[in-house]
């Protein structure tokens, strides 16, 4: 959400004659659509979903780079209530995931609730009417009793501020904004960054580029990717005996979840670390290259990646890996700090997203004019990653400290959606106008988060990652098991929230749920 324009005109919503929607949702990825489905299942149809693009999909709409796929198995990376029996592969590719999302929209008849090409540029809580005034495209306002931000944490591409980048005469783009009009065939291409996206697209573009230079700051831990086609027999079995698919899903979940034990006890990750080292040694016989690709930090400090074709791509004769830092970018080249000049025609950034600073430029104003950037001046935090003190009826999905480095984020999304529904139901039952998490509850929760993070691998593992803010504080990762998160969100504690009723409330507008 960028800064809003002053004094926008209010658009009368379709919810009723001049009245606000009961819920305004932002985003049509897994989070926003999951919230919409949750509302419909609860019998609520008076809501709108605002989407900045012209189609649904969230991250799986925006990321279309070559080789784009999920690094969580398809049988787990899907809604628990909406299994797909005919996944084609163990690890779903971008196009299949996008089709799954579009099928969900059709099945649950969500299109009628979605406003496309409606970018949210600001949101302010109106104390007089107890509604959120959500600014769309800078000059419209949609009002809602409650606001659910389902944009997710990975939608603001991060591009490093390299000296001289503006002078580069070639093509530049981020992996999340792939320029498909630019033909890489025979080109001299530079890839900056070696994260989850880069290890997927590097093997693909290495086949076409004349010369590819990969600029690596920190090597990732990479495990072999056990990907394969799902057989026809398996798909038939999943369709006819759904319990078999649930068993597959639960087994994958337990294997993924076992990694959380190593986050506080890295010794438990020795077997996985040994597998990663064996994988590297098997695929990269070149000793010098293997040394550059060997991480010097504890596994789990950054997200552990899966790939079986990244290392072989680096062994191609037209591919070079450099670990020298970039000193400057010139009109047709990149100069590294060792003084070497790398001639390039295009620069592709695989440098991830803004996470802990994603709200720095957001125009979100809560009660009594409290700006979220001021509320978070010492770091982003929220109760269970959902509710922020001082911002009534505002709910975040995949907010601070609800990110995972080892399991499916859809598990967290579903737990948070259920929690938000409980908040709205409690507000409705109490006849209230606004519900706010108590500051003491938020403080207590975040003190627990930081205590649990002490000594954890992403804090003490010897690396910098997107889990940590500029002060080295964990603001993104959930510091315990997903079972712990499920238990914490399974049943809302009414004592954690304050419910207020305003005398001036518009009684004709209806309840929250």
Q: Are residues 307 and 366 in the same domain?
A: no
Secondary structure, 3-state, 229-248: ECCHHHHHHHHHCHHHHHHH
- Residue 481 in any domain: the answer is yes
Tell me the two tokens of residue 414. Answer: 């579903």
- Residue 254 in any domain: the answer is no
What confidence score (pLDDT) does residue 502 get? 65
Pairwise CA distance, residues 479 & 468, whole Å: 12
Q: Are residues 98 and 202 in the same domain?
A: no
Q: Are residues 342 and 274 in the same domain?
A: yes
Q: Which of 349, 379, 394 is the last residue of a domain?
A: 349
What confidence score (pLDDT) does residue 263 get? 82
* 93-110 residue pLDDT tens: 999 999 999 999 999 999
Who's near 496: CB < 8 A, 6+ residues apart?
A: 383, 437, 438, 441
| Residues in the chain where the model's pLDDT stays below 50 | 1-18, 503-512
b/e 226-244 (16+ beta carbons within 10 angstroms → b): ebeebeeebbebbeeeeee
- Residue 228 in any domain: the answer is no
Q: Which of 314, 330, 349 is the last residue of a domain?
A: 349
Pairwise CA distance, residues 211 & 342, whole Å: 10
Contact 392, 436 (CB under 8 A): yes
Altogether, the residues listed in the chain come to a count of: 513
Q: Are residues 497 and 383 in the same domain?
A: yes
Q: Are residues 504 and 423 in the same domain?
A: yes
Pairwise CA distance, residues 368 & 391, whole Å: 10
Q: Are residues 136 and 214 in the same domain?
A: no
Q: Which of 332, 349, 366 is the last residue of a domain?
A: 349
b/e 395-429 (16+ beta carbons within 10 angstroms → b): bbbbbbbbbbbbbbbbbbbbbbbbbbbbbbbbbbe
Q: Are residues 345 and 359 in the same domain?
A: no
Q: Are residues 198 and 325 in the same domain?
A: yes
- Residue 242 in any domain: the answer is no
SS3 509: helix
What confidence score (pLDDT) does residue 19 get? 64
- Quick count: other Cβ atoms within 10 Å of Cβ 42? 12
Place of tokens 């991480």: 295
Please name which of 362, 368, 376, 418 lies closest in space to residue 395, comparing C-alpha atoms: 418
Q: Are residues 301 and 394 in the same domain?
A: no
Torsion (CA) 453, 457, 460, 464 in degrees, nearest 10 = -100
Q: Are residues 408 and 297 in the same domain?
A: no
Q: Are residues 195 and 335 in the same domain?
A: yes
Q: Are strands 120-126 and 131-136 parallel, antiparallel or unpaired?
A: antiparallel
For residue 382, with 0-12 CB atoms within 10 Å meaning exposed, 13-18 middle and 19 or more buried, which class applies? Answer: buried
- Residue 233 in any domain: the answer is no
pTM more than 0.85: yes
Q: How many domains does the chain have?
A: 2
Residue 438: give its domain's CATH number. Answer: 3.50.50.60
- Residue 255 in any domain: the answer is no
Residue 279 lies in domain:
165-221+260-349
- Residue 208 in any domain: the answer is yes
What confidence score (pLDDT) does residue 509 get? 43
Contact 195, 351 (CB under 8 A): yes
Q: Are residues 342 and 393 in the same domain?
A: no
Q: Calculate the CA 41 to chain-centre distance.
A: 25
- Residue 371 in any domain: the answer is yes
Contact 143, 134 (CB under 8 A): yes
Angle between helices 30-41 and 409-429 (to 10 degrees): 40
């Amino acid at each position: 959400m960028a800064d809003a324009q002053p004094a926008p005109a209010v658009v009368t919503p379709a919810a009723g004659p001049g009245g606000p929607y009961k819920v305004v949702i932002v985003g049509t990825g897994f989070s926003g659509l999951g919230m919409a489905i949750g509302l419909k299942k609860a019998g609520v149809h008076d809501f709108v979903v605002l989407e900045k693009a012209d189609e649904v999909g969230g991250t799986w709409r925006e990321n279309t780079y070559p080789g784009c796929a999920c690094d969580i198995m398809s049988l787990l990376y899907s809604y628990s209530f909406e299994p797909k029996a005919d996944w084609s592969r163990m690890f779903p590719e971008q196009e299949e995931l996008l089709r799954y999302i579009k099928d969900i929209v059709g099945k649950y008849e969500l299109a009628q609730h979605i406003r496309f090409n409606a970018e949210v540029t600001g949101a302010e809580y109106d104390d007089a009417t107890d509604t959120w005034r959500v600014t769309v495209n800078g000059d419209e306002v949609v009002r809602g009793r409650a606001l659910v931000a389902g944009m997710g944490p990975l939608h603001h591409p991060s591009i490093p501020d390299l000296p001289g980048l503006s002078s580069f005469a070639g093509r530049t783009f981020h992996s999340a904004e792939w320029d498909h009009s630019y033909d890489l065939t025979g080109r001299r291409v530079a890839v900056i960054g070696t994260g989850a996206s880069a290890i997927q697209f590097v093997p693909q573009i290495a086949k076409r580029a004349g010369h590819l230079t990969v600029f690596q700051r920190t090597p990732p831990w990479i495990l072999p990717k056990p990907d394969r086609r799902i057989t026809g027999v398996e798909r038939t079995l999943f369709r006819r005996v759904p319990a078999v698919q649930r068993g597959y899903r639960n087994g994958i979940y337990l294997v993924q979840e076992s990694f959380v034990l190593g986050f506080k006890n890295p010794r438990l990750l020795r077997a996985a670390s040994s597998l990663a080292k064996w994988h590297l040694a098997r695929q990269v016989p070149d000793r010098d290259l293997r040394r550059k690709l060997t991480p010097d930090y504890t596994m789990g400090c950054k997200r552990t990646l899966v790939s079986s074709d990244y290392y072989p791509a680096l062994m191609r004769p037209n591919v070079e890996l450099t670990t020298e830092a970039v000193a400057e970018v010139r009109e047709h080249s990149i100069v590294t700090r060792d003084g070497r000049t790398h001639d390039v025609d295009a620069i592709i950034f695989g440098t991830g997203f803004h996470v802990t600073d994603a709200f720095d430029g957001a125009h979100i104003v809560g009660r009594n004019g409290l700006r979220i950037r001021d509320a978070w001046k010492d770091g982003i935090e929220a109760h269970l990653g959902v509710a922020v003190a001082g911002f009534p009826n505002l709910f975040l999905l995949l907010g601070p400290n609800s990110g995972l480095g080892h399991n499916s984020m859809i598990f967290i999304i579903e737990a948070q959606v259920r929690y938000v529904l409980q908040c709205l139901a409690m507000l409705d039952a109490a006849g209230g106008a606004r519900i706010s998490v108590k500051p003491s509850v938020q403080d207590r929760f975040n003190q627990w988060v930081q205590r649990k993070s002490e000594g954890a691998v992403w804090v003490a593992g010897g690396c910098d990652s997107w889990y940590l803010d500029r002060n080295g504080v964990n603001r993104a990762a959930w510091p315990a098991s997903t079972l712990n998160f499920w238990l914490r969100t399974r049943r809302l504690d009414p004592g954690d929230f304050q419910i207020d009723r305003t005398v001036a409330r518009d009684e004709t507008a209806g309840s929250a749920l």
